[in-house]
Structure 1
Amino acid sequence: MRRTSKLTSVAVGVASIALAATACGGTSSDSGSGSDGSGDSKGLAIAYDIGGKGDQSFNDAAYAGLQKAAKEFDYKTADIEPTEGETDADKEQRLSSLAKQGYNPVIGVGFAYGPAMEAVAKKYPKTTFGIVDSVVEGENVASLVFAEQEASYLAGVAAAKATKTNTVGFVGGVDVPLIHKFEAGYKQGVQDTNPKVKVLSQYLTQTAEEGGFSSPDKGKAAAEGQIEKGSDVEYAAAGLSGQGVIEAASKAKVWAIGVDSDQYKQAALANYKGSILTSALKDVGGAVFTLAKSVHDGEPLTGTQTFDLKVDGVGLSDSNPEFAKIPGLAEAVDKAKEGIIDGTIKVKTE
């Protein structure tokens, strides 16, 4: 029988992953064996969200966690791309196939896997499932969620310090509650730092099926429109579409703020890196690795696992040397981070 508990925070730093998995609770004593009952597991499998591998953001961060697990545990792994216009039934079939093959854990990358995972997890009780960015109830399910609003607040602080026009932009991929968290934190960070700064916001689509997370052309057009209105800092929470926002910012010689991964370091964005001031980080790779390690150690995590600023589950990058050159920016970000961690700053999610 699995022991399930809520986890308020899990450390995802390399040095503290083992401690987090054993000391913070929320584990299961079940070995999490494969669905064939053999007790053997092929290792980790992940099923990508819209945009797939190569988005230089959300999905690629998950892939980095898979690579780390494969190297450290000598795992066999599988990573499966989504298909355009797929249904919940398609996702169910994908997750079921991975579990049936003996992969353990099986992780759905993105909230879109919620309905499918709820159905599939019940069919394969000996397999540990993970879902990123959604909460799914189940004795063998770990819900890997993040405090995106906290990283976005820090991005807002940076934007308010970097702007010269007192106008900055936010581009959301899809108009859903998850992306509202990014926008809410960003706006609050901007306003708390400089109330005179105006935030222009735009969502690319109402549903993911319309391409809000997978259309760089849509992101580019939205950013160009905001730049024409005076924005000189563009922050995108839009998956693959964010590449278009970064391209537009680079072309206009204004700042871009990346998301999820440290996009200043992404090879595919090398032509634009000089314009990427910072990135709001979300350690999806660390969460994927943490779940894989827990299964490998025979104590699979279950329940809600929240990765926040306090445990470095989210954060803000400073890879671009220009980050340190903008007067007062680094100091303001550090002060805001301390305030969020000690509770004196309460970051909104809406």
Structure 2
Amino acid sequence: MRRVAKLSAACLATAALAVTATACGSTSSDNASSPSSSGGGKGIKIGLAYDVGGRGDRSFNDSAARGADKAEKEFGGSVKELTAKTSDTEADREQRLSDLADAGYNPIIAVGYAYAPSITKVAAKYPKTNFGIVDSVVNAKNVDSITFTEEEGSYLAGVAAALKTKKDHVGFIGGVDVPLIKKFEAGFTQGVKDTNPKIKVDTQYLSHGSDTSGFASPDKGKEAAQGMLDNGADVVYTAAGSSGNGAIEAVNGTKGAWAIGVDSDQYNIPGLAKYKNSILTSVVKNVDVGVYDLIKSAHDGKPLAGNQVYSLAKNGVSLATSGGFINDIQAKLDAAKQKIVSGQIKVKTTP
């Protein structure tokens, strides 16, 4: 029987908001850093430090949560979750990780590239604790770096968009203009142009630099997508965490338009069910697999370290087929995938 520890009224309010106010995972993370724990105290103690949006973002963080949930069910023990705020400083991130380490959680997984500097410092202070980081590489003996070839999955999304657009006009929305999200843009644009160089690709980022609000602002995502639709685009791919929920909502309100989801198979996300017939496909990034692999390795006494790269060839990234909307172009998508896997197509990582 799963037992949940409820820590405070404030935490409860935050948790409720995270579940109910998210769109593609979108709560205003300024309310957060809410810890929650589960399990009966026996077995492995898993620490999760989420990026902005946290559990319930219907995208990136939720994928990580699925991996931890699977491990908890399989191995027993407990999970403690802490969620980043858009206002976080480096000291906040270090403190979050240190709190988990001091409480005996092992492994501790930081979900998101923003944790790279803090993982580097905290892992050195706690050499007997195993850490993981998603979407960045930290070189330390006790750190497992979990990375993905986002550009390869995005290339296939670009092929799908090019084959489905009726207006020869598509759009890409990124959460923050950082190198990681640039990989999504680069792959998508290359996939579109390799399929049909005449297609116009609009690009917009929701926030810039150290401002991570672009990952947790469904209103900004909706506004950006609506602008692209008004400008003539009829397929919009959004790599922006919970902000993508707003983009999907905007696309759903435009007849004949398609949205492309990200990280999770968003067609099958209950909170997005009313929009699912507008979700052409999703670029699935199996963060859950990477998280589970690390936890299992720690449980088995042989914790992973170094850089584990989850590629298209290893099904680390893929295109979701839910809804059957890409069935008619599946053969062409499979051909493109094979060319990437064989090395015939080299997918760019920068636009």
Q: Is this a same-fold pair by TM over 0.5?
A: yes
Mapping of residues 61-76 of structure 1, within 5 Å: 61-76=63-78
**Matched residue, 2:346:** 346
Aligned residue number for residue 144 of structure 1: 146
- Aligned residue in 2 for 1:166: 168
The residue number in structure 1 matching 2:92 is 90
SS at match of 1:231: coil
Residue in structure 2 matched with residue 226 of structure 1 by the alignment: 228
Distance 2:317 2:86 in 1: 30
Q: What's the counterpart of residue 269 of structure 2?
A: 266
Q: CA RMSD in A?
A: 1.2
1:1-350 equivalences under 5 Å are: 42-207=44-209, 209=211, 211-253=213-255, 254-324=257-327, 326=328, 329-350=329-350
Structure 1 stretches of 4+ with a deviation exceeding 6 A read none
Output the amino acid matched with 1:251: G
1:156-210 CA-partner distances (Å, limit 9, x unpaired): 0100011000000000010110000000000000111111211111111113535
TM-score by length of 1: 0.86
**Partners of 2:121 and 2:101 in 1: CA distance:** 13
CA distance in 2 between counterparts of 1:142 and 1:82 reads 20
Q: Distance in 1 between matches of 2:212 and 2:303?
A: 36
> What are structure 2's unaligned runs of at least 5 residues?
1-41
Q: SS at 1:200's partner residue?
A: strand
Structure 2: how far apart are the matches of 1:84 and 1:236?
Answer: 19
| Maintained 8 Å contact 1:47/1:109 | yes
Displacement, 1:322?
2.2
Tell me the SS of whatever aligns to 2:62.
helix
The percentage of counterpart residues that share the same residue type is: 56
User: In 1, are the aligned partners of 2:237 and 2:259 still within 8 Å (CA)?
Assistant: yes
2:3 alignment counterpart: none
* Structure 2 residue identity aligned to 1:177: P
Shift of 1:53: 1.4
Alignment partners' CA distance in 1, 2:132 and 2:169: 39
1:102 partner letter: G
Q: What's the CA shift string for 1:28-47, capped at 9, x where partnerless?
A: xxxxxxxxxxxx97421111
2:224 is paired with a residue of what secondary structure? helix
Is 70-79 or 57-66 further displaced after alignment? 70-79
Higher relative contact order (CA 8 A, sep 6+): 1
**SS in structure 2 opposite 1:230?**
coil
Unaligned runs of 5+ in 1: 1-39
Q: 1:41 touches 1:102 (CA, 8 Å); kept in 2?
A: no
Partner Cα separation in structure 2 for residue 167 and residue 83 of structure 1: 35
Equivalents in 1 of 2:310, 2:49: separation in Å?
20
TM-score by length of 2: 0.86
Corresponding residue SS for 1:309: coil
